[in-house]
Amino acid sequence: MIRSMTGFGRADAMILDVPSTIEVRCVNGRYLEVSTKVPREWSDKESLIREVVRGHVTRGSITVTIRRDEKTNSRAAKANVEVAASYLTALRQIQEQLHLPGTISIELLANLPDIFSPPEEAADDDTLWADLSASLRRALEALTAMRDREGAELARDLRERLAVIERGLESIEATASERVAAERVRLRERVAQIMGEAGVDEQRLALEIVLLSEKLDVTEECVRLRSHIKHMRQYMDSPEHAGRKLNFLLQEMNREVNTIGSKSNHAEVAVIVVGMKEELERMREQVQNVE
């Protein structure tokens, strides 16, 4: 299956009656890495959030961001005005009795104990997680939908490039079969020209022709390359995630193409090989984004 590693998903929800937004972003990564940015009072849910993400994503660098609309948050922190007033009175007494200069600022009061009451704890932790996890799954579903759409475009591009490589392989196979026969004739003519009236040692010539044929023969490499192309299409159609397998196959395909180019030693084949290597490099870049 071809699924892009990059994508974005978002879900708006009411979590404990507070309007909230969950955003999930994913970029390329060799392994699965999940980072979270959540309100401090929900930090104990970070491990649970990561587990839910792992159920939807296998590779990539994931960032989960959860925001709450604090303006409508009924559990916002409360200011203890009476406590602040008592602090202010005490500080002024100290200032007067000790004849101290300066002013008593809001920053000073804000750092004193018990000036603010923390937000009230959720009455039902199960309800919090039920709201949070349901919203997170909706954001992840939106992320997956986007990654699937991008994956379909990647698959289309990869199939087109595979077809180009396959056509190049067919041309190489046709050229290689004709070239072995032509090289045999050329070698015989060359030997006869050198030997002249002394004649040609047919046994030695036959041995040289066999050695030349083995040196020029790329049948084995072509068969392996065609097999890699076949398996690549199978992995792309498989329901399993194919990113790592495709990357491995591309390395093997590049190795076979290089061998074909070095063994052929033929201008026409060299041009085809260069084109195939360019397509493989573009495919390799695309596959880096496949889960």
| Among the ranges given (14-18, 137-141, 158-162, 176-180), the one the predictor scored with the smallest mean pLDDT | 176-180
**Highest mean pLDDT: which of 108-122, 134-148, 164-178?**
134-148
Q: Taking 60 as the threshold, does the pLDDT of residue 267 lie above it?
A: yes
pLDDT of 185: 65
Residue range 243-270: mean pLDDT, rounded: 90
Q: Cα(273)–Cα(248) distance, rounded to whole angstroms?
A: 20
Neighbours of 120 (CB within 10 A): 12
At residue 278 the predicted structure's pLDDT band, cuts being 50, 70 and 90, is very high
Q: How far apart are CA 151 and CA 6, in angstroms?
A: 9
Q: Which residue has the higher pLDDT, 14 or 214?
A: 14
On whether the CB atoms of residues 264 and 172 are closer than 8 A, the answer is yes
CATH fold label, 7-73+123-148: Ribosomal Protein S5; domain 2 (3.30.230)
232-239 own/partner pairs: CB under 8 Å, 24+ apart: 232/158, 232/162, 233/159, 233/162, 236/1, 236/2, 236/155, 236/158, 236/159, 238/1, 239/1
Give the integer Cα–Cα distance in Å for 248 and 245: 5
Residue 263 pLDDT exceeds 70: yes
Give the residue range(s) of CATH 3.30.230.10 domains in the chain: 7-73+123-148
pTM: 0.68
